[in-house]
Amino acid sequence: MAVIILAVYALYWPAVPGPFMFDDWVNLSLLGAHKKLGEFQQVLIFITREGTSFIDRPLSRLSFYLNDHAWPSSPEGFRLTNITIHALNSILIWWLSLRLLKLFRPNLSSQTHLLLPFVIALIWAIHPIQVNAVAYIIQRMTLLSGTFVLAGLITYTYGRESLATEPYRGVILMSLAIVVFMPLAFLSKQNGILMPLFIAATEFTLFRQTPGHKTARRWSIPFVLGPVVLVLSALSIRAQEKVFSWYDAQPFTPLERVLTESRILFDYLAAIFLPQAHTSTLFHDNYPISHSLLSPPSTLPAVLGILALTAIAVFGRKRMPLLAFACGWYIVGHLLESSIIGLELYYEHRNYIPLFGPVFALVYATHAALKEKPAAALGLATTFTALLAFITLMNTSVWHTKESLISNWYKENPKSLRTANLMVGLLNERSDYVSARTILQQSAKEWPRNPQPPLLTLLLDCVNNRTGPDSLEKTLSAIPKNYAHSNIVLDILEKLHAPVTAGYCPPLTLDDLERIVQHLLMNPNTKRADASRKWRTLTYNLYFLQARIASEQRNLNKAMQYADKANEILPNPNLMILQAAWLSSAGLYEEALQIARRALTLSREKALFDALNPYEENLQSLISNIEKQARTNTP
């Protein structure tokens, strides 16, 4: 096992100093957000997402807090923790493989029984498809959920082995696997809910001939089928919120997503079995969408292929248990993130646990085919693992610095809008204005409905003193009224806000920035009552920015009107606190007290209980100060 652990640390060590990326900032920026509170209260508020949820990945959040409870922070400690968890999971993969082979093929020689799990675990640990799961810090959630899933499956195998001789002990251990480890996995990431299906994929294929199968089948009704029914029921009841609500912010429909994912699943398989010597980008936002079974033509074969894999998993259990296990495990592992839920399409980290089934089958099948030719088997295993190690090291080395990461990702996939935006930022840091603007012009052609290229062009011109009299009109004309949803529009506007306010981007003024916001608010999705939370969040933030602009323009009435519109969409104590401050500064103490008390009531309603209200102390102090000011300034 030392070899596997050393291999993991050696291959991933180049990535340790790499930067925070993408969702790292969104999720970790709340570390240390409430420094005035006691540490225990800070922990509770952070792991419960500002005191609003006990089930939104609190264990993963706790692990981040243990790394550091301040922000900004250094990525080294976070990434080293990820690597350590991955090393631990690699040992659990070895242990699980050992247990599965003992029950699936008890007659294997002791040497083979030890060697095969080692090869399986080594391939799983150093496979390049795992790099983004390990190096991308926020995917700690995937890693930690995987830890508990694997621990639960190992516990299940011990219980399963006991069924034939000690049935009560066996049932207890099997049940503990579900009752203890599934919740822990779920509280790390929602994928943990798939653990019962991984058990089913194993039991009904590899363990069909293992003594105790009938008892295990009866046990599976409440402990496997039960959780599945509960999850499906919950999704059915809240389908609009949990399954379909994000589709109005995506460039595809539910049907298009399912069709496209069929192709993506085979792309993943190609990367698993035929890894190529190139750096694998995190972003695939330009992946071609399947609009029908024939568009693109590869869609129909992919859909038929997924149906075939599913058929093998279901109907090939007797004749081809190993292949059925591999197919079933892989399909089960992708049920949540690669099916109907309106997530983004393509992320390699979704293969973290699903990778195990194909690798287990590949190694065992290769052993079975070459058991009379041990030298050939050894040579093949050595060559394949060496290739994997080389490609993984190539990818982790890219993670070493922000410059190498962005440059290589852009070289790998220049048509990705996210990657292009990162490259623009990097070029701007190098003072290469011309190259940065060229990329933005190309992005504008390839993404005509996305507001990011024109807004980033304006920002680039602004910070390089290149804005002119027609800059605003060019920007507005380049953003269609039905522009596509973008999470980073507000980030761009915030970066524009500061230099425009300071007068660094003549002739742009706050009035011009307000016109941009008004233009963005003309999108029909900003006015729909049934819009998804993504659109409502964007609309809220646009009104919030308008309110701040109006305040800076010394127009209190307009600032309050925009703030009220924002609060109608998504009531927020933060904005209400700002409104109270504006009113208090204007001497409108009664109105300020009213809105401060509204904010306090709202914050208490949102918090799960009083100790988890991050606004309580601040708002109580604000109300007290306003009351004091009112007494002091009242004749």
Say how far apart CA 12 and CA 9 lie, in whole Å.
5
Is residue 344 one of the residues assigned to a domain? Answer: yes
Q: If pLDDT is split at 50, 70 and 90, which confidence band does 372 have?
A: confident
Under DSSP, is residue 284 helix (H, G, I), strand (E, B) or coil?
Answer: coil
Is residue 214 one of the residues assigned to a domain? Answer: yes
Q: Residue 256 carries which DSSP code?
A: H
| 218 has pLDDT over 90 | yes
Is residue 421 one of the residues assigned to a domain? Answer: no
Quick one: which H or E segment has residue 442? helix 433-446
Is residue 301 one of the residues assigned to a domain? Answer: yes
Say how far apart CA 253 and CA 342 lie, in whole Å.
8
Average pLDDT over residues 552-571: 96
Q: What's the pTM?
A: 0.95
Contact criterion met (CB below 8 Å) for 105 and 151:
no
For residue 217, what are its two tokens?
Answer: 């089948």
Among 93-97, 124-128, 161-165, 349-353, the minimum mean pLDDT is found in: 161-165
Say how far apart CA 84 and CA 96 lie, in whole Å.
18
pLDDT in tens, 319-341: 999 999 999 999 999 999 999 99
Is residue 351 one of the residues assigned to a domain? Answer: yes
Under DSSP, is residue 213 helix (H, G, I), strand (E, B) or coil?
Answer: helix
Mean pLDDT of the chain: 93
- Spatial CB neighbours of 618, under 8 Å, sequence gap ≥ 6: 36, 577
Say how far apart CA 504 and CA 508 lie, in whole Å.
8
pLDDT in tens, 589-598: 999 999 999 9
Say how far apart CA 257 and CA 310 lie, in whole Å.
18
Is residue 607 one of the residues assigned to a domain? Answer: no
pLDDT in tens, 408-463: 999 999 999 999 999 999 999 999 999 999 999 999 999 999 999 999 999 999 99
pLDDT in tens, 3-15: 999 999 999 999 9
In angstroms, the Cα distances linking 67 to 11, 253, 327, 419 are 22, 39, 37, 28
pLDDT in tens, 29-81: 888 777 777 778 888 888 888 878 888 899 999 999 999 888 888 999 999 99
Residue 343's pLDDT is: 92
Q: If pLDDT is split at 50, 70 and 90, which confidence band does 532 have?
A: confident
Q: Taking CA 458 as the corner, what is the angle to CA 454 and CA 460, rounded to the nearest 5 degrees?
A: 110
Q: If pLDDT is split at 50, 70 and 90, which confidence band does 609 have?
A: confident
User: Side-chain half-sphere of 40: how many Cα atoms within 13 Å?
Assistant: 1
Number of domains, the chain: 1
Question: Long-range pairs for 292-301 at CB < 8 Å and ≥24 separation?
Answer: 292/259, 293/259, 298/263, 299/259, 299/260, 299/262, 299/263
Domain that holds residue 226: 2-29+71-398
Is residue 522 one of the residues assigned to a domain? Answer: no
Say how far apart CA 120 and CA 61 lie, in whole Å.
30
Is residue 364 one of the residues assigned to a domain? Answer: yes
Say how far apart CA 356 and CA 351 lie, in whole Å.
9
| 390 has pLDDT over 80 | yes
Q: C-alpha 275: how far from its chain's center? A: 23
Q: Which of 143, 151, 166, 236 is nearest to 198 (CA)?
A: 151
